[in-house]
Structure 1
Amino acid sequence: MNTKYIDLINQSFYFPQDEFKLRNKTLEFHDINLMKLIEEYGAPLKFTYLPQISNNISRAKGWFAKAIEKNDYKGKYNYCYCTKSSHFKHVLNEALKNDIHIETSSAFDIDIVENLKKEGKISNDTFVISNGFKRAQYVTNIARLINGGHKNCVPIIDNYEEIDLLSEEIEGKYSIGIRIASEEEPKFEFYTSRLGIGYKNIVPFYNRQIKDNDRVELKMLHFFINTGIRDNAYYWNELLKCLKVYTSLKKVCPTLDSLNIGGGFPIKNSLAFEFDYEYMVDEILNQIKTICEEEEVDVPNIFTEFGSFTVGESGGAIYEVLYQKQQNDREKWNMINSSFITTLPDTWAINKRFVMLPINRWHESYERVLLGGLTCDSDDYYNSEQHMNAIYLPKYNKDKPLYIGFFNTGAYQETIGGFGGLQHCLIPTPKHILIDRDEDGNIVTKLFSEQQKSEDLLKILGYNE
């Protein structure tokens, strides 16, 4: 009888997959021996597999290079990393090995850029695309960067006052972009994004504030929608509206030469995940070229700002099942030795799914369960709604430890969870491991941060001064 967990997986998915396979009856992720990692560092733990960052950047660059050649597209492609997905130095160091550019969101991002410049990780040739609503310190920092010689810093105008604010502090001429306030999906709570300037207002805004301004040169139109790049009617309709704005603006603004299509490539969230990245890139460039030819304007250089796609698939979290609570005839709660609210906040904040698999005991019988965290909060759980299908795991046995992994968690979770700070119910932040490969391809691990201790939290709270 096929009653083991491995049988369930084989019946439900194509397995093994590129990054997941079994060796000695335990799960490996990119050939990383996860049980060995647990034995060395314990659980709970979080990890970052650095080579996957470079791998995903290379994949995307390859898709765009292929589409540019196929469509005889005359513009250039520039890959930007959206730093808000993960600001950690080890992430930026790995990403910047791949000749990429940077997208920033706030004032302190510019401090990071300047730090990277001092270390020679980026140069004045690196584009720094500065998005977001710009408060005084952000404007000051952008001006400092540009005045220091970084002319490839391109602030993206979010509202009608920002040009005047920037011009007060930037010396000489500088380049800008304009962000389009895209229309949201019909099911959204509001109609138009709070970010950027409305479609119909962009050309009048250019004529009013930029056209005759000798200090400012418009180089980029910025387009991004909240749901990301998807093959659906909503995305293609918004892209078409964007291209109509671009071609109209290009006809009156000769300096405009770049279109930023933002980010939003999805990342793998289950073993059944499918997304044709190559087709999407090809079709996007085809649509841009077709519209530009119809309107008789030159095609733009293309910028993207991939954040989650860059870093998401490099991350993982491992927990131990501490105990099982049978709450009624149907519900079995497997309690993990950490918290979903604090370590994977997107699982409860936006019902985000991650790839979830047991690390060990694949060749034992399984059961349907719910997963609960340690906090005394009713929302601290991960269930079949997030997981789409019911959660099945090897049967709980108090004499046989069960470890489970959540994979592709590398984007946003640390910053949203408040890395190194206070956590709900004072649940400590788990230790974090960096995983890399040496010149011979061997796995190398390094402890990035220890699990929080009581004294760390007491100090923040003012008890230990």
Structure 2
Amino acid sequence: MDGTSQEWSVEEAERVYGVSRWGGGYFHIGENGNIKVTPNPSDPSIQIDFKAVIDEIHQEGVQLPVVVRFHDILRSQVANLNTIFRNTIAEAEYSGEYQGVYPVKVNQMREVVEEIVDVGEHYNYGLEAGSKAELITVLALNTNEDSLTILNGYKDEEFMRLALLGRKLGRRMVVVVEKYSELLLLVKISKELGIEPLIGVRAKMTVKGRGKWESSGGERAKFGLSFAEIINTARYLKEQGMAHCLKLLHFHIGSQLTDIRSVKEAISEGGRIYAEMHKMGFPLDYVDVGGGLGIDYDGTASTSESSRNYSMQEYVADVVYGMKEVCDLEGVPHPNLVSESGRAITAHHSCVITQIMGEIRSNSAGVDTSEAEGEHYFVKNMREMASTFDQQTNMQELYNDASQYKEQALDAFKLRVLSLEELAKIETLYWEIMERLQEYYAHADYVPEELQELDYSLSSQYLCNFSVFQSAADTWAIDQLLPVVPISRMNERPDVNCSLVDITCDSDGKIDQFTVGREITDVLPMHKLQPNEPYYIGLFLTGAYQDVMGDMHNLFGRLNEVHIFSYDDDPEDFYIEEVVKGSSVEDVLSIMQYNPKAMAYDVKRLIDKQVSAGNIKPREGVRWTDFYEACLSGYTYLKTGK
């Protein structure tokens, strides 16, 4: 069939893959069937063909799989969030300002943080740190004295001293107290050093978020002070003559909030706490509403765990108007607003591109099923069922009989009644019957329950050159849905239903949950693999957490990275600004306490021994030694041609 015929269109591909629904204005399907990238939706004249990006990656000699970062998307998201807050504040006649911070835990990669700091300077957009190493990082990077640095997480004495060093450097570093003992430690050290801190308190909210991380709120939340502890904190600071140091109220009810109602409820409760503290004589400057601004990973715009039922505009409006309403009712000033929306800032800018290495099918290797002399009647019966298939056949009965014969044949083989060749014939005939049943029920109004699993049983597994544990950790750990789509050929009808498996030696190394249309399915329509024609797929929206949470399973290590910037004067509208090499074999071995140089020496010694014994010729020995050393310095993933 001609894949570009009228039987399939780009519009139908959009309906199946939903690229525009989850793409955030940055990704769509082009008329040529390739994924197109609009790095800045406000300038639609710049359109990058993703297939052209892959072609240039190959020309640069960079091996797949790769992480592709579109830095203009990152910059666009920072500008978008800040612009929406500024415009909404003006429309609402809200008297406070917006001073957001990026939580570096979402993606600590230097290139990412530096880009955010650079574009964020115009908006006094700051950083948030939740550990000592992150604090050391933001001390060096966030040099804008007008932006905030929010310090969350549990803290020790060294952490407090680093925070006060920031104050000494003229930085607006707010230490958020997570437990009461931290306050005592902070006051002690600040008096010892003679440096006044900026202090925030994190409230343990009764409101809970909705989604995978709803336990971040509520009375059993890991972080935060109870209402009684907040009052005791404020009174203790007044006793110590440091009430003026209390500047910020912080609350957080969960990441990836799926339902806008949880945002409204949190703002209502948090606004009341702020107002009461103001009336108690603690005129706070800031209210930090935490993170939670979700991403529509599955494109359904719903309250599913991988979606959200609101836009960024609606989220910001609810924060601004909600806080204004509470403050006006209570007769207190509007505080400056802070948010920590890391997922929304980073998710879209990064994706993983890999190549399909092959296809795995349950029924891919059949045998000749022609009749043989003396064969068992199980084989004859199964052949008869396969040959008498017609529209008058009772399909349910056929399925039941074929399944029973297959099970009985396996038992007979174990009892040495059937030969291996006879069992293979029965297996081949069984899968032929299942394929014909699948074809029949594809057009049926009713499918019996037992046969509803046929699509999955007969589906292919496409073998992908990457590690789920390294590059899509959340799909394995918490069943997070990530959009998976082919990079090209979407103007052709996808004729293969498949799940994805990676190249690790772990059965959990797979992706078998996808969004097709507006439903979650266990197979994804893909295109038939063509000989000598590489087939590329992308895992999108990986910029939040996936970039930094990967492990060392099977010693695969980090992927190669390619950083893309748009450039209107270039014929392809982009250029590769930087290539960051991924992990080599010797890199990952060194992390695991091996000594690659010693290993190379040991293998060379073993080869030399075989040369001396006459088992390997000298020239061959040199080649094997060079090959081993080249593998040590090479990429950990499979080598592929273009």
Give TM-score, length-normalised by structure 2.
Answer: 0.66
Cα drift, residue 424 of structure 1: 0.3
Change (3 A) 1:297 1:262: same
> Which residue of 564, 577, 601 maps to 1:435?
564
Alignment of 1:288-307 (within 5 A): 288-307=323-342
5+ long unaligned stretches in structure 2: 39-46, 302-308, 364-456, 598-642
Measure the CA separation in 2 of the matches of 1:114 and 1:242.
29
Q: Please tell me whether residue 9 in structure 1 is matched to residue 16 in structure 2.
A: no
The one-letter amino acid paired with 1:374 is I
Q: Residue type of the partner of 2:471?
A: T
Give distance in 1, aligned partners of 2:14 and 2:350.
Answer: 24
Q: Which structure shows the higher helix fraction?
A: 2
CA contact 2:254–2:291 (8 Å) conserved in 1: no
SS at match of 1:410: coil
Bigger Cα displacement from structure 2, 69-78 vs 187-196: 187-196
Determine helix, strand or coil for the equivalent of 1:77: coil
Query: What's the counterpart of residue 327 of structure 1?
Result: 362
Q: Give me the whole-angstrom Cα distance separating, in 1, the residues matched to 2:138 and 2:465.
A: 37
Residue in structure 2 matched with residue 258 of structure 1 by the alignment: 286
* Inter-CA distance 337–446: structure 2 relative to 1 (3 Å threshold): same
* C-alpha deviation, 1:23, in angstroms: 5.5
Question: Is 1:464 aligned to residue 577 of structure 2?
Answer: no
**Which of 83, 91, 95 lines up with 2:116 in the alignment?**
95
Q: CA deviation at 1:332?
A: 1.5
**1: CA distance between counterparts of 2:575 and 2:210?**
48
- Partner AA of 1:464 in structure 2: P
Alignment CA distance shift 1:123-1:67 (3 Å): closer
Q: Give RMSD over aligned pairs.
A: 2.6
Change (3 A) 1:15 1:346: closer
Give the TM-score normalised by structure 1. Answer: 0.90
Which position in structure 2 is the counterpart of 1:168? 188
Match in the other structure for 2:88 = 67
* SS at 2:317 equivalent: helix
- Bigger-Rg structure (1/2): 2
CA distance in 2, matches of 1:62, 1:230: 23
- Partners of 2:459 and 2:32 lie apart in 1 by 32
Structure 1 unaligned residues grouped into runs of 5+: none
Cα distance in structure 2, aligned partners of 1:36 and 1:200: 60
Q: Sequence identity, in percent?
A: 21
d(CA) in 2 for partners of 1:228, 1:214: 39
CA 60–136 in structure 1, closer or farther in 2 if over 3 Å, else same = same
- Aligned with residue 178 of structure 2, among 145, 158, 164: 158
**Residue identity matched to 2:174:** V
Please point out which of 18, 33, 39 is paired with 1:25.
Answer: 33
Q: Deviations over 1:179-222 (max 9, x none)?
A: 11234458866852111112353223322x22222245111100
Matched, 1:81 2:102: yes
Change (3 A) 1:198 1:82: same
Report the 3-state secondary structure (helix = DSSP H, G, I; strand = E; otherwise coil) of the residue aligned with 1:161: helix
- Partner of residue 227, structure 2: 199
Partner Cα distance (1:424, 1:259) in 2: 41
Residue matched to 1:425: 554
The offset of 1:351, in angstroms, is 1.5
1:163 partner letter: L
SS at match of 1:133: coil
Q: Distance in 1 between matches of 2:561 and 2:340?
A: 26
Report what 1:210 is aligned to: 237
| 1:111 matches 2:136 | yes
Question: What SS does structure 1 have at the residue aligned with 2:160?
Answer: helix
Contact 1:219 1:255 (8 Å CA) reproduced: yes
1:131 paired with 2:152, answer yes
Letter of the 1:463 partner, please give it. N
What is aligned with 1:249? 277
State how far apart, in whole Å, the 1-side matches of 2:134 and 2:237 are: 26
Ranked by relative contact order (alpha carbons within 8 Å, sequence separation 6 or more), the top structure is 1
Pick closer, same or farther for the CA change 1:337–1:166 going to 2, 3 Å: same
Task: Verify the 8 A CA contact 2:180 2:229 in the aligned structure 1.
Answer: no
The one of 377, 380, 403 aligned to 2:536? 403
Shift of 1:29: 2.4
Please tell me the residue identity of whatever aligns with 2:587: D
Number of matched pairs: 455
Say if 1:333 and 1:370, in contact at 8 Å, map to a contact too. Answer: yes
Which has a greater percent of strand? Answer: 1
